[in-house]
Structure 1
C-alpha cells in the first residue's frame, strides 16, 4: 500500500494496464508528470515486481502488476463515474 500511495504510481499502472508502452509514449500520456519523476516511479515499480522493462525498452505490467490492475478496475470505474461531481472540499454535487 505504501508503494501505491506514492504520487503517480496508480497512474503509471493505469496507463500500462492495456499493454506495454515506451517511455516517451508513457510520458506523453502522463500529462504533467516530469520525465525524472516518471523515471523514478518506473524504477520503483520494476524493483517491486509490478512492472518489467522489456528488451525493446518498453514497460509492461508483470503478472502481479496485471492482477493489481485488474483489482483496481472498480476504483477506476468509480473515479470515472464521479469525476467532476466531487468538489475539492470533500463534498459532492447533487445534480
Structure 2
C-alpha cells in the first residue's frame, strides 16, 4: 500500500511539473496593482494594527470583485503595489 501511495504521489508531482508554471493574467494583475496604487492610502493602512499586505489586499479583492478577474493574479498585483508603496 505504501508503494502504491508513493507511486501515486510521484505521478501527481510529475503531472504538476509537466503542466508548467501558471500563466499570469495580466489584466487581473494590473487591476490588483491599480487597486493599491495610492501610496498614501497604502502607507496609512499599513500603520493600522493587524493590517498586513495580505489582509489589505484580501479586503481590496473582496471590495473589487469583478467577474473574469483571476483572484491570485489580482492579489499578486496588489501585493506588488503595496511593496512598491512601502519602499
TM tier, shorter chain? 0.3 to 0.5
Q: Which structure has more strand as a fraction of its residues?
A: 1
**Bigger relative contact order (CA 8 A; separation at least 6):** 2
Structure with bigger helix share is 2
Larger Rg: 2
TM-score, normalization: structure 2?
Answer: 0.32
